[in-house]
Amino acid sequence: MIRFLFIILSLLIMSCHDSTNELSVDDMKEFQHIDRDFHYTSDAGEDLVLYLSEAVNKIKLSNGFGEWWFKPNSNAFTIPGKYLEYSGHYALTYVKEDASLEYGSIIVISGKAYDRVESFIGPKTVWPDGMQDAMVFSVPRDSFKNAIEDGRIVDYSLTTNQGRSESDLDTVNFLYSYMQFSGDRKSERILVGLESQDAQSREQSIDVVAHWPEKIDLSILEIYPFSDNRQRFKLSTNQLIDQFGNTVADGTFVKFILTHQNGSQSIHHGYTIEGKSTLTIPNPKEPGSIFIKACVGNKVCSIPLNIDFKSNVSSFKWRYDKDSRDLIVYDVIGALSQKVPDGTTVRFSIKSAMGESDIDLVTDDGACIYGLGTLPSGEYEIEITVVDKIEKIKLNI
């Protein structure tokens, strides 16, 4: 619709009564005073017709984005709506005989909310039972991207996969609107939508996730209880739930802290799937006890679980071959009365008048050979260690 703005441009001082009488248009009765302080309100993008009481050379329309000059051909002049698409204040200036004078202003207001309402939601996850609030924030705009004016209604609605539904109305204030909401006691997904003047937002969602787990317990799923680090043992937590019975979210970070018999520590990481986290790690090289605890953050930890690992070697034999000058370790027998797996470490610690040295070899078919032919002749003290089994011998080479 084209709106009509009647502006009386005159170089003479005229009374309000006289100015009004010059306009023979019925709807002029809504304007009681037409003077240089005149203000008019128009909808964004609508054509605006000016009726001038006398000819002028030029008319300037200006706002914060720029200025536009028009040259009327008659007393009736139209400003196309494309120059009035931005909401806000526009100034009118006329020029007559090279004299410019600010005459009045136009206030352009936004139209209806258009197409899709821009909205934002956060945080994406919250704790249950109202421990944390979430917010959906919207900025409705018209077809020219103007934020719609304060006071217009925005209708919010939400639903959850647990069957709960809510709705709320809010008004635009300072060009935006928002709704705060929180989750129930149970973990759930909340879907949120809104509309304003037949314009809708995209559906958005947040997840209500479990709070801190109440308790962590550790249990052994698989174990070979001997000190062979080529074997592995497997642990698992219980199903981690919060005080409302919610299973913690998949991917919850679990830290496993291992304290070894010599006091050293190692840390391993795991993540929950369906509330449980499992850990598979190598057996220790040395027999002894390991204490393991699992923690979620620094807030909730399990009672340490104690696991005893026995020696993987029960016995071994040795002999020295004077002809070849080889020290042979053989019949290295494991805990199950079998030859130990290939690759078991055998350490030779050698002490002589020239000093001390260590060398590590590995078994093949339960045996290994240490050639002493490169050593100078003399007396040697040799200590043979296989895991925790030790033999001390003296040799003259």
Residue-wise pLDDT tens digits, 40-96:
677 888 888 877 766 778 888 999 889 999 888 877 778 898 988 888 888 888 887
Identify the band that residue 28 occupies on the pLDDT scale cut at 50, 70 and 90: very low
Q: Which of residues 162 and 17 earns the better pLDDT score?
A: 162
Q: Tell me, what's the pLDDT at 290?
A: 95
| Residue environment code for 350-389, b if the CB has 16+ CB neighbours within 10 A, otherwise e | bebeeeeeeeeeebeebbbebebeeeeeeebebebbbbee
Q: Tell me, what's the pLDDT at 102?
A: 63
Helix (H) or strand (E) holding 214: none
Give the whole-number percent of the chain exceeding pLDDT 70.
Answer: 88
Identify the band that residue 38 occupies on the pLDDT scale cut at 50, 70 and 90: low
What pTM was computed for the model?
0.65
Residues 6+ apart with CB under 8 A from 338: none
DSSP state for residue 64 in the 8-state scheme: T
Tell me how far apart the alpha carbons of residues 241 and 285 are, in angstroms, rounded to a whole number.
35
Helix (H) or strand (E) holding 20: helix 16-21
Nearest to 91 by CA among 70, 56, 55, 64: 64
- Per the CB < 8 A criterion, the answer to whether 254 and 271 are in contact is yes
Residues 6+ apart with CB under 8 A from 18: none
Average pLDDT over the chain, rounded to an integer = 84
Q: Is the pLDDT of residue 99 over 80?
A: no
Please, what are the domains in the chain?
3-109 (2.60.40), 118-208 (2.60.40.1930), 218-309 (2.60.40.10), 313-396 (2.60.40.3080)
Identify the band that residue 256 occupies on the pLDDT scale cut at 50, 70 and 90: very high
For residue range 301-332, list pLDDT tens digits in order: 999 999 999 999 999 999 999 999 999 999 99
Q: Which of residues 122 and 175 earns the better pLDDT score?
A: 122
Q: Tell me, what's the pLDDT at 265?
A: 93
For residue range 101-140, list pLDDT tens digits in order: 666 788 888 877 776 788 899 999 999 998 999 999 888 8
Beta strands in 56-187 (DSSP E): 58-63, 66-70, 76-79, 88-96, 99-109, 118-122, 125-126, 133-139, 153-160, 165-171, 177-182
- Residue 335 one-letter amino acid: A
Residue whose token pair is 């919010």: 156
Mean pLDDT of 260-267: 90
What count of other Cβ atoms lies within 10 Å of the Cβ of residue 35? 13
For residue range 6-21, list pLDDT tens digits in order: 333 332 222 222 322 2
H helices then E strands: how many in the chain? 1, 32
